[in-house]
């Protein structure tokens, strides 16, 4: 992973994957796009979130954040992008836990991409995760 994160071993990856829990749909903004369903998973570790958007059971948007790093994909520009979030910047006076800004990396963080793929693979039996894994091929 990048300079401010340690490489995780298989047990840590399995623990992160197992900690993901779906957040109740009523807590999410829905209906901003006709026929689009958003699914949110939150991990036990702070700032560990995965969002999926589906239209007609097809993945159209995906965002994964962990330890101030981000990976995202959008069907409109179907490339994987990595970036950094502001979540660990506690000196930010505008900080609000539910808001998150992401600054895209100039160059893909390949180590983080591999970590994300490894965490998703711990849940491969679930359709939402398997569709996201397919993006890495």
- C-beta separation of 70 from 56 below 8 A: no
Max avg pLDDT among 90-94, 101-105, 120-124: 120-124
CA-CA distance, 121 to 84, in Å (whole number)?
22
Residue 23 has pLDDT above 60, yes or no: yes
Residue 92 has pLDDT above 80, yes or no: no
Which of 44-48, 63-67, 122-126 is predicted with the least confidence, judged by mean pLDDT? 44-48
CA-CA distance, 41 to 95, in Å (whole number)?
22
pTM score above 0.75: yes
The three-state secondary structure class of 20 is coil
* Per-residue CA distances from 96 to 13, 90, 101 (Å): 28, 10, 11
Q: Which residues are registered as beta bridge partners of 84?
A: 69, 103
Return the number of other C-beta atoms located less than 10 Å from residue 102's C-beta.
Answer: 19
Cα atoms found within 13 Å of the Cα of residue 41, Cβ hemisphere only: 21
| Mean local confidence (pLDDT), 101-112 | 91
């Amino acid at each position: 992973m990048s300079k401010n994160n340690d490489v995780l071993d298989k047990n840590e990856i399995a623990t992160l994957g197992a900690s993901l829990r779906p957040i109740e749909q009523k807590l999410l903004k829905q209906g901003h796009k006709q026929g689009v369903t958003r699914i949110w998973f939150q991990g036990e570790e702070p700032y560990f979130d995965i969002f999926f958007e589906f239209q007609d059971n097809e993945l159209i948007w995906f965002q994964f954040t962990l330890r101030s790093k981000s990976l995202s994909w959008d069907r409109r520009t179907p490339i994987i992008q990595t970036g950094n979030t502001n979540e660990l910047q506690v000196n930010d006076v505008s900080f609000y836990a539910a808001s998150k800004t992401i600054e895209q990396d100039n160059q893909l963080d390949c180590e983080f991409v591999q970590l994300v793929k490894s965490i998703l693979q711990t849940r491969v039996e679930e359709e939402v995760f398997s569709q996201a894994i397919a993006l890495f091929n």
